[in-house]
Structure 1
Amino acid sequence: MFQKFRMTAAAALLALTIVSCSKEANTEQALEITDDVVNSVKALGFSTNNLMATEGGYIVEGDIFIPSNELNRSVDGKILRVGQSEQYRTTNLVTGLPRVITISVDPTLGSSYVAATDEAINRYNAENLQLTFQRVSSGATINIKAAPKSARYLASAGFPTSNGNPYGQVLVATRQIGTQPLNTVASILAHEIGHCIGFRHTDYMDRSYSCGGTYANEGASTVGAVHIPGTPTTADPNSWMLACIGSGMNRPFNNNDKTALSYLY
């Protein structure tokens, strides 16, 4: 039996349910989770289960970051459901195709994260998409950085902006995933990059499919949850965009993931 990382997709945050998750002194400027915050998150269409406060905003659904200044955004989300477990995208996608998306790794993360990032990039580029990924040292479109030391998730990211750009940051909790093998970290980073370019969780309809626990529908939210044609209407146990991943697990793109990537990009 393996421990589980709960991923939140902004591009997905992951929470590791092991003893090392014990709280540390929070040296960051912590936000409070008030009733108003809970109501605003609910109004945006996101689940309020395991809502976490972090620097500058809140984490929902395990790895999706919502800046605090967006809590009052108007709701215009779109939802199109077919089955119970399929690939889903947001309403906003990356535009200006073909396009090169550059990715940088903060030097403080070390060489193991560079290697994992290169592996994640290779997985995307092997699909011959209209999006090409390239690692650079600075000035990147997407920056991979360390999460606050108090983070209770594995990694987080957001969704594309309304002007067609990918979300620009992936945060990783080094104390949570620092001992994981390269392919696990690469799978986590590829998942968060997936959020950055517009993918939601494959088990969006019921995240308990990969995370365990009780039934939990993530909600369409303001960003939308649109089914990607050609992906299955039955359970998909190996998708790289499932909400949770087991410790030591490798999740390269399966055939349904490749269909979804090809359809969008």
Structure 2
Amino acid sequence: MKFNRVLVFAFMAASFSLTSCQNEEEVTSSSEISEQTINAIKTMGFSTQNVQRAEGGYLVEGDIILKESDLRDAGKVQALRVGEAEQYRTTNLVTGLPRVITVSVDPKLPASYVAAVDEALARYNAEGIQLTFQRVTSGASINLVAAPKNAQYLASAGFPTSAGQPHNEVKIATRHIGTNPNRSWLATILAHEIGHCIGFRHTDYMDRSYSCGGGYTNEGASTVGAIQVPGTPASADPNSWMLACIGSGQNRPFNTNDKTALGYLY
């Protein structure tokens, strides 16, 4: 089965039959979500297709969690121009640089996941940015936990808070990923979700069909919370770690444009 998210790398980020960046406990149809909520999601610049209720808020674009507090602040975000396939960041970023971001792995996750987590963190640390990632056993800035058993995604995460803190949780659907997955594939998924936690959106934000397949998906001409990172290309980028979807077993280390985006923001 092909998964469309790298995060969607696993839906988020990316996802195919499942999204690689989702974290949903109770899945409901978008028709059960109020028009006010749908409008707030649209105002923030996110796709309103297949919105699902999730633990703590709403799951959008396959692997991104929006909390009720995010939706209440929807009208406070500046309007942004529409781009094509550049790297994008959210309005909020992690502050207090230079800074160590600690990451923990829930003991309920398969022991084999630890090596993939270490690989994902090593990818970031190799870039020499002002965020250093360190795995710890407790009290972490970002906690990697098991997703609900009925999760219809590979993994999911949210975005930094208005106070400049990284999103504190990545949920991983072990029933879809398996207990002993390809290490580099899982490292890519986790690096993608951590990318969301520190403020990155999907590289194919303007057309998720680029990595996920299916029909053309454009989020509309008036967007917020998706700011192009200067220095990244306006043309398609087929290998970015922040593409919305990822194929099973695929490895996407940071490419040149990804490195540019990481270096510019951090």
Into which bin does the TM-score normalised by the smaller protein fall? Answer: 0.7 to 0.9
CA shift, 1:38, in A, is: 3.2
Partner of 1:122: 122
Instruction: Measure the CA separation in 2 of the matches of 1:263 and 1:246.
Output: 28
Query: Once superposed, what is the RMSD of the aligned Cα atoms?
Result: 2.5
Aligned residues: 255
Letter in 1 for 2:247: G
Q: Is the 8 A contact 2:120 2:188 kept in 1?
A: yes
Q: Is the 8 A contact 1:14 1:155 kept in 2?
A: no
Instruction: Measure the CA separation in 2 of the matches of 1:81 and 1:212.
Output: 25
Moved more, 33-42 or 52-61: 33-42
Matched ranges for 1:231-250 at <5 A: 231-250=232-251
Change in 2 beyond 3 A, CA 1:63/1:15: same
Moved more, 70-79 or 195-204: 70-79
Deviations 1:6-39 (A, max 9, x none): 3348992554527xxxxxxx9x666673333434
Partner of 1:195: 196
- Other structure's SS at 1:75 match: helix
Change in 2 beyond 3 A, CA 1:49/1:82: closer
Partner of 1:210: 211
Moved more, 30-39 or 55-64: 30-39
Q: Is the 8 A contact 2:16 2:245 kept in 1?
A: no
- Other structure's SS at 1:111 match: coil
- Other structure's SS at 2:143 match: strand
Task: Indicate whether 1:158 and 2:148 are aligned.
Answer: no
Scaled by the length of structure 2, the TM-score of the pair is 0.87
Partner of 2:21: none
Scaled by the length of structure 1, the TM-score of the pair is 0.87
Instruction: Measure the CA separation in 1 of the matches of 2:103 and 2:52.
Output: 26
Q: Is the 8 A contact 2:85 2:206 kept in 1?
A: yes
Deviations 1:30-84 (A, max 9, x none): 6673333434433443211121222232210010001245444342334544741
Q: Is the 8 A contact 1:9 1:65 kept in 2?
A: no
Instruction: Measure the CA separation in 2 of the matches of 1:202 and 1:209.
Output: 10
Moved more, 71-80 or 245-254: 71-80
Letter in 1 for 2:253: P
- Other structure's SS at 2:159 match: coil
Change in 2 beyond 3 A, CA 1:15/1:226: closer
CA shift, 1:3, in A, is: 1.5
Q: Is the 8 A contact 2:10 2:245 kept in 1?
A: no
Instruction: Measure the CA separation in 2 of the matches of 1:120 and 1:63.
Output: 18
Moved more, 8-17 or 150-159: 8-17
Listed as ranges, the gaps of 5+ residues in structure 1 are 19-25
Percent of pairs with identical residues: 62
Q: Is the 8 A contact 1:125 1:133 kept in 2?
A: yes
Instruction: Measure the CA separation in 2 of the matches of 1:214 and 1:113.
Output: 34
CA shift, 1:205, in A, is: 1.1
Moved more, 97-106 or 173-182: 173-182
Change in 2 beyond 3 A, CA 1:260/1:88: same
Change in 2 beyond 3 A, CA 1:89/1:70: closer
Instruction: Measure the CA separation in 1 of the matches of 2:50 and 2:11.
Output: 16
- Other structure's SS at 1:48 match: coil
Moved more, 50-59 or 235-244: 50-59
Partner of 2:52: 52
Change in 2 beyond 3 A, CA 1:199/1:102: same
Change in 2 beyond 3 A, CA 1:63/1:240: same
Change in 2 beyond 3 A, CA 1:76/1:58: same
